[in-house]
Amino acid sequence: MQLTLATTRAAEIETAAFAVLCFSDEAPGPGLAAGLVQELHTRGEFTGKALETAVVHRPAGMQAQRLLLIGCGEKAKFDASAMRRAGGVLVRALKPKGITSAAIRLKGNTLSPEMLSALAEGAILGDYEPDRYKTEKKNGSKPFESLTISIPAESAEMAEALRRGRTVAEAQNYTRTLVNEPGNLLTPLKMAAHARSLAEECGLQCEILDEPRMRQLGFGTLLGVSMGSAEPPVMIVLKYTPAAPPASSDHLALIGKGVTFDTGGISIKPADGMEKMKYDMAGAAAVLGAMRAIAELKPAIPVTAFAPCVENMPGHKAQRPGDIVTSYQGKTVEVLNTDAEGRLILADALTYAARQGCTHLVNAATLTGAIAVALGYVYAGVFSNNEDLQQRLLAASRAAGERMWPLPMDEDYKDLLKSAFADVANIGGRWGGSISAAKFLEEFVEGKPWVHLDIAGTAWLEEAKPFLAKGPTGLPVRTFVRLATDWPASL
């Protein structure tokens, strides 16, 4: 999508559709479309409530062919997150009508670099469709081509805000494309190929640890998961190094769970809904997408991504419930349930990241159904052993508009993982399942400051929204990028 800044007056912009942001608690004043909005409001056709739209053809006094009214709710509550949704609504309201270009004017409380970035992100995210393999495209056969954003005066700050918004949104859509790939077309080796291409394109260092190398290192928990599959596992490592020497020794690690398809293994999942388990690599896809944006935005600290990728299948060599495996760290794990596999591959990845010199670890994983029981499909769960890093992550998530909520990590929960036969069990029972899973991961971070994001309830959208297509959301790419680019000289 072409995004263009302009200073042309709204009435003079020639476009297929001109969008106007309208508030539910603000009477339209004199100016563009004010009388028209008031008339529609009086007739009850448009009230300005959030995500509501109305289209008017051939608006008087304008060069635009159509006027798109976008409801934004209460003016005082309109923030960057609301602007991001409005940008998505703009695109998704016009595309089904065959309209692929539009314009919008930012002014007043909608005019700021933050708002501009959010609008760009929302428009690009709204343009994404999960219909790559459909021969007939129903929601507009063409991608949205251009959006002109009119502002009172151009500046380097606004141009940079637009660039940042585009960069982050395109990285998020890259992640969504990976997550949407079916398991037969996106195996661990294919994930590795995507990582290599990404590294070559963006100037990142790339290393792929194959099965013999991981066996040599002693990645017993990761390799145990892959035993039942004919597809070999990989560990993807992508490295970003800033051009200038960093001011501190801080080195951020982004780690993502990459189960390209999860049957549950011997502890097999029910058939109903198993087709969605192609999204069990959303954490790995998110760290790849984040690295794409980080390579362009160039934060001041080094960032390394680790993506352990496996397929969890119930083949004749598959890991069994009751098996005991030895992790890279040296701890032994009793595998009580082979469907708790994500924490097993992350265990080795977290220890490897810590031993590679990373000082702060952040991982994302579609880890537990329990997190959706606790928080629904609205918030991602946040777990940490370090309050400072947790608060910095939460600040990044708020700035990025991705909703996350911290959960407790008291030592009492560790008792749930006791095993009579190994150092630790890989599950802790039904109650507090997302927390006991996090406590399991904590065993392998080598004491480093660490945050775990459980995105099982938020990485996939079950039904389309007015601003976003059904399917992969790309969360938490924006938070990861914000965390890296806002990183201080020392934490």
Which is nearest to 174 in space by CA: 83, 92, 278, 287?
287
- H or E stretch at 91: helix 80-94
Burial class (CB in 10 A: 0-12, 13-18, 19+), 5: middle
Residues paired with residue 255 on neighbouring β-strands, in sequence order: 306, 363
**Pairwise CA distance, residues 430 & 436, whole Å:** 9
Which is nearest to 228 in space by CA: 311, 323, 341, 291?
311
Three-state DSSP class for residue 58: coil
Pairing mode, if any, of strands 324-326 and 332-334? antiparallel
Which amino acid is it at 24?
S
Q: What tokens appear for 214 in the block?
A: 């991981």
Q: What tokens appear for 167 in the block?
A: 């960069």
DSSP assignment, residue 465?
B
Dihedral sign for Cα 336, 341, 347, 352, please. positive
Phi, psi of 79 (to 5 degrees): -130, -170
Residues paired with residue 304 on neighbouring β-strands, in sequence order: 239, 253
- H or E stretch at 312: strand 303-312
Catalytic center residues: 269, 343
Output 399-404 pairs: Cβ under 8 A, ≥24 positions apart: 399/482, 399/486, 400/476, 400/478, 400/479, 400/481, 400/482, 401/80, 401/81, 401/84, 401/118, 401/478, 402/475, 402/476, 402/478, 402/479, 403/378, 403/379, 403/458, 404/379, 404/380, 404/453, 404/476, 404/479
Q: Which residue, chain included where needed, has tokens 């949104």?
A: 169
Which is nearest to 225 in space by CA: 138, 346, 112?
346
CB atoms inside a 10 Å sphere around CB 379: 21
Contact 399, 480 (CB under 8 A): no
